[in-house]
Structure 1
């Protein structure tokens, strides 16, 4: 798991390594880039900068972000303090909090972009360790994560100072940090961001393999998740939509900004395969721009009335940010496309004009840094006051329910889930793309698998984006209905759809010497030690069943049910846990481990009692789970919370058996198909060798009979 190999650029026993020529002298950036595909030496002044150039670049972008955020935030600070009735905490907090936050988000973006480059923009070596370019980028990502963790930690006392109206000096002692973390949700979010970023930074220092670089990229991206709970989104009406759109916005911005910064660093340091890196980044940037536009539009609709767009400070900042993003999208994509086309029309070994390329993308990155500063200032600017006072349900849920749970209210209400609802649409679109690609190539695909996949995606969309998804947050019985569908029914259909097999057939190979592409990532996802462990049938069934007991009876449900991010975590956890279990038991995709159908049937039957017992335990549980949360919502048609919990337990008991019965039928059918394939194989073998196996068996029986007669 953890690599103990020497770092790239150092070779044991005097042998040449990935960053060291056979002479034993360290390879320079110029030498490393000199005859690689579409690479050329960096300009002399850039080559001399080296690591200092990276630091200067980040400092430049940070200075731009700070120069934008401080004056814009200062303009609205007095209004914000007046609205919440808090004394002025002083200039250190007034200017320092938005400045540190802007720097922190920039550093997080750099960490994400560098980790993305190490994992996907540069090929690993034959032993699956990172090459020189990948190693450098992972080290840069590690340092950026350390700095991002420090910035997030500093935001804890700054937040305490801002909320309490005390000066920053008074908020710096460690005991005040504990007060902030325990009493202020925003400060607690910064604590988690710092911890996650620190884990990623340390992990990147301890590992050198390409496989682990993907893991640390995921952890780095995850460090942005707590940031979604620190702005207006978590406390506004329709905060479910606002928080989900902010998550998409933060992730997209990190990939867009960080990816471009990584390309600049790679080009500046004389890295290889600049054209390929630029092509891959252009794909990332296109998706990120679309996500930024979509999520930004949702945020504007949630927080702004059309009349406030040009008549309020918040509205004007939104307009300014939208214009910057439009300009970035048009300018950036057009320029990159032109540069890529110019490179590809040349000879494959023609050098890249790095100086010109750097000047172009540096302008884009500076504008990006300014946009980050503008975004942070939006978080410090109070949005226009709502036109009405929200009800208690709207304040807690983000919306209001019209009446009791029924067929009419479930299918008469629709509220698009920007996480799982959007995921179901994307997954269905990607599957259709794969089918179209196979059809154009003349290949066939079983229609039954397509039907299963479509059914799973539609079921996921309806469960999360109809009234069902809304009632799941407010009523335990409704929550359990949705939980059973997401964890027990949807994964069955998705597993029977065979998405990994379709992707492996539809996606092209990256080609020898190129960085791994989507097809190689899927192969790596299937064939790695973590997957081999998680896809053992016993492990898969334990994590599937144990998740129910831990969430509801392990003391976590109260916290998860009362927070939007917690509710989202439960849904995602149930979906992934269920898919992993059913992929192992009945999935048509290849798994790292292969077991007989009889073994799978035994594992499935052994899990049945635990599902039944979970429902029975819920029906007889004497304490109301998340009582303060459900009491606070106060749905008038649910006067007895314990009775609602008992109904939920009955739902878990009844609905838990039906999917497993379906799985038993599917497993039995797969068992029958396996036997039929084996029988056909035996028949073909018999035709080829004139039934040699049967003749040998009959001869053995004859010899045994002859022996019996002699005795």
Structure 2
């Protein structure tokens, strides 16, 4: 069979595509020059402040240039994967369309740049942290020793590894599902760097790190998404108006997230009076100006360009406006890199104590029931998540009501109670004391893994979303409804909801976390606390979904299987609590002793209290689950009875008549005939 030849793109199309490539390279060079120039203004004072010798101009100028290179690769990689996964419609078979495949290939090359840049950052970070020239730390033995001692160097090494995996994934990804996986890996690659730097140390580092999480994710999705959109327009890709509308919605959310999180992060590090009296403050003002300008470009894009695309116009206007926007975006990245290299002004915050250095804030008084309820410290990640989930659910119910459809009030109440449980567990006094007090942490663990998931699955969020989102037509590109269905029926979801897997994750994670030494390591890292809370929520949801969930599970269980799964978890959970109460070894002893809270005198007694909470709290979800199962079975019987009655009314009760006739015939056969 003769092989098909792919026709070469028209000269004009090749020229436009190469123009976008030149634009990105130019923007990256601009960002690198800005970062290097602005960093040089404060480099000498930074080393003097830290008491380090000057490592020389190669480190001065090379480090920001290399960092801009790495971050530019990350931006283009993640933006291209975002476009391929959720911008360009895939085929109905699940295979990527030609434009989606082109975006994934671009992401692969960008991931390679990201990987090389992140790997080069390791020796530069080592040289910068020790005040030595880069050439002095390139010795393998010296470099490995420094990497082992420097958290930021470890973070960049891990980032390089993740970027390498993403690059490999982009080379082999041909389907929509694997593109989504590669996109998730790309986002994961941002976490190690977020957990280091100015925001991860000093006072209020919990707020600073959480705000940086929103800020960096918003920036990467916005900047990378725009670059990918311009590349798609340059290729004259299909569905350009649809892709532009989807990106416009993402850009609006990202801009709002960047603006709010950037303001919060800035207030942690600098006072308003220092904005114009320090180098750090002036760089921050430059970044704010860039963000405001970008907001204006985003408004023009949504109001003018997208409307013109919907009217059938070409993408030339989008390319013109987007080119200027990309240049401003990358210039802002350069300012941000310089800001990260500049120490905050002296006197911008009080000297933190030991507790504040370890968890981000002081704890001067012991917890009491009132303090656990009302001593609020809002968690920017999970507090925002709880509020956003509640708002989205209410918006979905409102849209159904607007269409004249009904939605059970009980499900709405269950969802709001589940969101309130997440909010209370992370943003009340429980969330404030949990990082420093084991018993409070265990109470938080039980709320997030045992109570909140039960309430959330009873609300049927997937069923609500499937009713709100309209299905795409036969000839229309897939949308949110199709994405959700693909996720629910994906192999990963089927594996996780397997009863054995769900049970092993739900009860096995208790033992793996607390009795393996993993908890001791996680206590010192803020990102690990975020990961633990996410694990508790997700594992609990996966376990209770097939048991009492309103949404159809990928692996439906029979009624007795549901009861058996719940009762199978009880002995493991009870034994976990008893093991904690009987243990003579304090879990996380080094960390809790280093905090040195004056009112925490008996760590073993506090651990036994936490074990008692774990043992006793297992009864509450069991009662809720059994009540929910009884109600569901009762309603199922009622629905079956109503269905039988409707059928009887429709056919004149033919089934009952046939049954009575069969009994009459049997009776006649058994009755002896009279002679």
TM-score (norm 1): 0.91
By how many angstroms is 1:181 displaced? 2.9
Q: How does 1:330-341 map to 2 (within 5 A)?
A: 330-341=296-307
Query: Within the alignment, does 1:518 sit opposite 2:485 as a pair?
Result: no
Q: Deviations over 1:562-614 (max 9, x none)?
A: 11111111111101111111112111112222222221111111111111111
Matches of 1:170 and 1:512, distance apart in 2: 63
Q: How does 1:600-615 map to 2 (within 5 A)?
A: 600-615=562-577
Question: What is the match of residue 211 of structure 2?
Answer: 245
Q: Residues 259 and 515 from structure 1, CA distance in 2 versus in 1: closer, same or farther, beyond 3 angstroms?
A: farther
Question: What is the match of residue 3 of structure 1?
Answer: none
Question: What is the match of residue 357 of structure 2?
Answer: 395
Question: What is the match of residue 6 of structure 2?
Answer: 26
Q: Deviations over 1:141-180 (max 9, x none)?
A: 1221122122111111111111112221222233334223
What is the aligned counterpart of 1:380 among 337, 341, 359?
Answer: 341
Question: What is the match of residue 39 of structure 1?
Answer: none
Question: What is the match of residue 647 of structure 1?
Answer: 609
Between 71-80 and 173-182, report the one with greater CA deviation. Answer: 173-182
Matches of 1:481 and 1:138, distance apart in 2: 44
Q: Residues 408 and 529 from structure 1, CA distance in 2 versus in 1: closer, same or farther, beyond 3 angstroms?
A: same
Matches of 1:146 and 1:699, distance apart in 2: 78
Matches of 2:386 and 2:487, distance apart in 1: 21
Query: Within the alignment, does 1:197 sit opposite 2:163 as a pair?
Result: yes
Matches of 1:260 and 1:640, distance apart in 2: 55
What is the aligned counterpart of 1:363 among 310, 324, 332?
Answer: 324
Question: What is the match of residue 18 of structure 1?
Answer: none
Question: What is the match of residue 658 of structure 1?
Answer: 620
Q: Secondary structure at the match of 1:562?
A: coil
Question: What is the match of residue 624 of structure 1?
Answer: 586
Matches of 1:311 and 1:185, distance apart in 2: 31
By how many angstroms is 1:691 displaced? 4.4
Matches of 2:543 and 2:479, distance apart in 1: 27
Q: Deviations over 1:284-343 (max 9, x none)?
A: 110000000011010111111122111111011111101110111012322342011223
What is the aligned counterpart of 1:158 among 120, 124, 145?
Answer: 124
Q: Secondary structure at the match of 2:523?
A: helix
Matches of 1:206 and 1:177, distance apart in 2: 33
Contact in 2 for aligned 1:242/1:299 (Cα 8 Å): yes
Query: Within the alignment, does 1:497 sit opposite 2:477 as a pair?
Result: no
Question: What is the match of residue 226 of structure 2?
Answer: 260
Matches of 1:319 and 1:91, distance apart in 2: 26
Query: Within the alignment, does 1:85 sit opposite 2:51 as a pair?
Result: yes
Matches of 1:513 and 1:165, distance apart in 2: 62
Aligned length in residues: 671
Q: How does 1:239-638 map to 2 (within 5 A)?
A: 239-344=205-310, 346=311, 350-352=312-314, 354-386=315-347, 387-638=349-600
Question: What is the match of residue 635 of structure 2?
Answer: 673
Matches of 2:339 and 2:478, distance apart in 1: 39
Q: Deviations over 1:339-358 (max 9, x none)?
A: 112232x3xxx450x33431
Between 625-634 and 385-394, report the one with greater CA deviation. Answer: 385-394
Q: Residues 704 and 206 from structure 1, CA distance in 2 versus in 1: closer, same or farther, beyond 3 angstroms?
A: farther
**RMSD across aligned positions (CA):** 2.0
Q: How does 1:100-139 map to 2 (within 5 A)?
A: 100-139=66-105
Question: What is the match of residue 34 of structure 1?
Answer: none
By how many angstroms is 1:406 displaced? 0.8
Matches of 1:689 and 1:290, distance apart in 2: 60
Question: What is the match of residue 35 of structure 1?
Answer: none
By how many angstroms is 1:705 displaced? 7.1
Q: Residues 412 and 529 from structure 1, CA distance in 2 versus in 1: closer, same or farther, beyond 3 angstroms?
A: closer
Matches of 1:267 and 1:167, distance apart in 2: 45
Matches of 2:136 and 2:12, distance apart in 1: 46
Contact in 1 for aligned 2:457/2:545 (Cα 8 Å): yes
Q: Deviations over 1:466-496 (max 9, x none)?
A: 1211100000001001111111111111111
Q: Secondary structure at the match of 2:132?
A: coil
Contact in 1 for aligned 2:270/2:344 (Cα 8 Å): yes
Question: What is the match of residue 167 of structure 1?
Answer: 133
Q: Deviations over 1:23-61 (max 9, x none)?
A: x3314445xxxxxxxxxxxxx4552465x5564343222
Matches of 2:88 and 2:618, distance apart in 1: 46
Matches of 2:2 and 2:387, distance apart in 1: 54
Question: What is the match of residue 14 of structure 2?
Answer: 47
Contact in 1 for aligned 2:56/2:133 (Cα 8 Å): yes
Matches of 2:61 and 2:519, distance apart in 1: 39
Q: Deviations over 1:48-82 (max 9, x none)?
A: 465x5564343222101101100111111111111
Matches of 1:685 and 1:46, distance apart in 2: 64
Matches of 1:686 and 1:443, distance apart in 2: 28
Matches of 1:317 and 1:283, distance apart in 2: 29
Query: Within the alignment, does 1:206 sit opposite 2:177 as a pair?
Result: no
Matches of 2:113 and 2:474, distance apart in 1: 36
